[in-house]
Chains A and B, each alone.
Chain A
Amino acid sequence: MIDMLTWEDIIEAEDTSRRREYGRLCSGITLLRQGRAMIVMLPNDGFRVLSSGFTNGGFMESPLAVVNITGMGGKPEYTCMEEGLDTHDRVNYRYAEKLGLDADRTVFQGTAASMDNAAVSEMTSADGIKVAYVVTAGIRHNGGRAGDPTTYDESESSYDERPGTIITILAIDADLSDGDMFKVMLMATEAKSCVIQELQAKSLYSKGIATGSGTDQVAVIVNKKSPNKITGLTKDSELAKTLAQCMKDALRKAFDRQTGMNPQSQWDPLLLMSRRGLVPLEIREEMRFPATYAELMAALGQLSGDRYNTAVITALLNIADDIDNGLVDEKTGVDLAREICEELVLDEQDDPVVRLRLDDADNMHDLLSFVSALKVMDTVKERRVPDGQ
């Protein structure tokens, strides 16, 4: 029997001899790349960190470093996860030793994202306090909305790894209380949800827009030796506004680098509709298209670039959301959506069967699915030679 590669084998074999500077944050903090890690190296023992990460999370006084580590990938990573969080801690410790770090004084965070795609952003508040972020981010495969249904019960099983996460390490060149550090962690979280909303990135576990991913981690680093002493931080302060703006800047860059997610890529009707289960396979089943595969693909490609049509679709999705949220009853919403589809989306439909089916659709999903199929066919016909052949 051949022994399977383990995480120990991988770490043993990895070449982590090269450490290079990646950038600088405020407060003399250095960013270093080494192996699979981004090391946020603190210059002295005057720092305090609050982390929501699993290994050495919580508050740590005088840490040496905060590290974000890309997973190994494949079966070796899976063996770590299967064995639970205690193994996860041991893996982190072993890797820290390999990197030449004192693991007991290191705060760990982990992701599937590449450290080469990390985004760094630095700003100074109007009252002169520097803040800096290093962020890795991906949400396409693990976006979720708070309150979404879940299946993973930790009381029953040991660990559940999901690809796609947002790792935020932020530094403030100021001395903050522990309460304010927790506030900063939550402000960064709120800023994260704003960026996700602005990209209309979907939840994979409900019909809504995501507010984050399940595995997001935040580490807040403050400089206890700084002459900038902050007490009673509030969201309307200059520092809070800058913290949020800097987070948004870093996160937008990180999303774009890791997964190509940006306002342009998100403006895709099929992508936007998919959160409501409106996907090509299902739309294709709405009718027996009198068209070739090539024609259908060309029509879909044309529709993907149709900015007007995409905007109308988002208006229709908003009506569906408003029905779910109780702003409007389903019949009124569907009737309005049907009128919008007939006036703004579809060509004139003179087929009595189409009329029957349009009038019969009594919920947003059925209506939008059928309308999408009709729109694809309208586009196929438009692309054909004038006689429709």
Chain B
Amino acid sequence: MGNDVFDRGTDEFTVTLGDGSHDAMSTDFGIIRNIRRITIGHGETCLSDDSLYIHIGGDATRICVSELSYNSTFVTAIAFADFTSGLVRIGHDPQSGNASVVLVLLMDSDMPDSTLARAGITATEAITASVQDLGLAYDSLTASGSVNQTIVTVCSKNSDLYLRGAGKHTKLGELIGRSTIEAVKASAAGNGRSIASRMSLIDMMEAYGYDQEKLFSMSNCLDYTKFLDRVVAKDSEPKVLALVSAIIHVNNEIQWGLLDPDTGMEVGIGLMRVGLREPVRSEGLMDTLALNVALYFMDP
């Protein structure tokens, strides 16, 4: 974007902001006037003079960039996203682990502080949208983000363009949303979490408390090696993945108060009968699903 310079190393990623004055709003330091440099790396998060340093624990080569524009509006999202641990549905206890999301949003326009804040709101919604699109869940909760989430929004004070609107209905807001989603998903994929990593029945069920060992114990199989062979063969069957994902969604709707448990259970039973096997009932929808997934692995 403009005259910004990106320096991508193995341990750090640095943005040296181009000519003119830049202001930023940061979740660590609030408003930062006349910022010149932002570095993401393994050092300690700190602000000194005109330089902001943001700590990440992961691989700096997995920081991804998305640059988008519309007419004279330019936005660049720089993201590090590791969703392999530390997921959270806000308001609940998070998943263990220190993985994180860092997002630096460069906007090549001038704007008031309120719009820098509003841009952070749109970017936060975009991170949540990314997490939802990837189907991320933990402890039977659909995730809304990462427990460690750092956002920095940056504007260019010398730009001829002055924008006050960064909500989702504006072009600036659209660019913020799209660039954030692209950069976050790309970085997440580099760190091992993409839609492809969800193509696993074991992975889907583990987020709801049924890991491989538990499914084995439910499978009526006494030979763990044989069970694993069956898992390898059937774990990524597309039709079954789509079916289990749909049943998990019905379970989520029960959790959210949209649907009563009894009706949800009957719908789940019907869905399993269509696309999995003649179901064996257990206590509750997820337990019934887990039991039948375990049995499905051992079905001929």
Contact = CB atoms under 8 A, between A and B. Distances in A.
Given A146-B180, A150-B174, A267-B259, A211 B114 contact: no
A191 B170 contact: no
Interface in A144-188: 144-150, 152-156, 159-160, 162, 177-183, 185-187
Contacts of B91: 191, 194, 241, 244-245, 248
Given A178-B29, A311-B253, A58 B245 contact: no
B67 to A, nearest CB: 15
A52 B118 contact: yes
A155 B75 CA distance: 14
18 contacts: A57-B118, A58-B113, A147-B129, A153-B170, A160-B165, A177-B29, A177-B30, A189-B121, A235-B94, A241-B90, A315-B271, A322-B246, A325-B134, A325-B195, A326-B195, A328-B241, A336-B243, A340-B271
A339 B274 contact: yes
Contact of B273 (A215, A241, A343): A343
A189 B125 contact: yes
A182 B31 CA distance: 9
8 A-B pairs with the lowest CB-CB distances in the bound complex, closest first: A57-B114, A178-B30, A214-B169, A58-B113, A244-B91, A147-B177, A146-B177, A146-B126
Contacts of B128: 146, 190, 193-194, 211
A314 B89 contact: no
Contacts of A214: 167-170, 173
Contacts of A267: 258-259
B62 interface: no
Which of B135, B163, B242 has the most chain A CB within a 10 Å cutoff? B242
B71 A155 contact: yes
A31 interface: no
Nearest to A148: B168
Interface residues of A, number: 90
Given A146-B181, A193-B125, A212-B121, 17 more contacts: A57-B112, A85-B164, A146-B176, A150-B174, A154-B170, A155-B72, A160-B170, A193-B128, A197-B256, A205-B169, A211-B125, A212-B125, A218-B121, A314-B250, A318-B246, A327-B198, A333-B242
B245 A54 contact: no
A344 interface: yes
| Chain B CB within 10 Å, residue with most, of A147, A245, A336 | A147
B238 A312 contact: no
Given A59-B113, A314-B249, A325 B135 contact: yes
B295 interface: no
Contact of A235 (B88, B114, B274): B88
Contacts of A186: 27, 120-121, 124, 149, 151
B121 A319 contact: no
Contacts of B264: 311
Contacts of A177: 29-30
B73 to A, nearest CB: 6
A142 interface: yes
Interface string B257-290: 1111001101100110111000000000000000
Contact of A327 (B93, B147, B241): B241
Given A155-B72, A312-B270, A147 B126 contact: yes
Contacts of B88: 235-236
Contacts of B40: none
A200 interface: yes
Interface of B: 25-31, 70-73, 88-94, 109, 112-118, 120-126, 128-129, 132-135, 142, 144-145, 147-149, 151, 161, 163-165, 167-174, 176-178, 180-181, 195, 198-199, 238-239, 241-243, 245-247, 249-250, 253, 256-260, 263-264, 266-267, 270-271, 273-275
B169 A215 contact: yes
Interface in A262-316: 263, 266-267, 307-308, 310-312, 314-316
A332 interface: yes
A335 interface: yes
Interface string A189-222: 1110110011110000100110111111110000
Contacts of A187: 90
B90 A327 contact: no
A329 interface: yes
Contacts of B257: 198, 263
Interface string A227-250: 000000011100011001100100
Contacts of A217: 118
Contacts of A322: 241-242, 245-246
A26 interface: no
A155 B161 contact: yes
A312 B124 contact: no
B169 A235 contact: no
B112 to A, nearest CB: 6
B168 A150 contact: yes
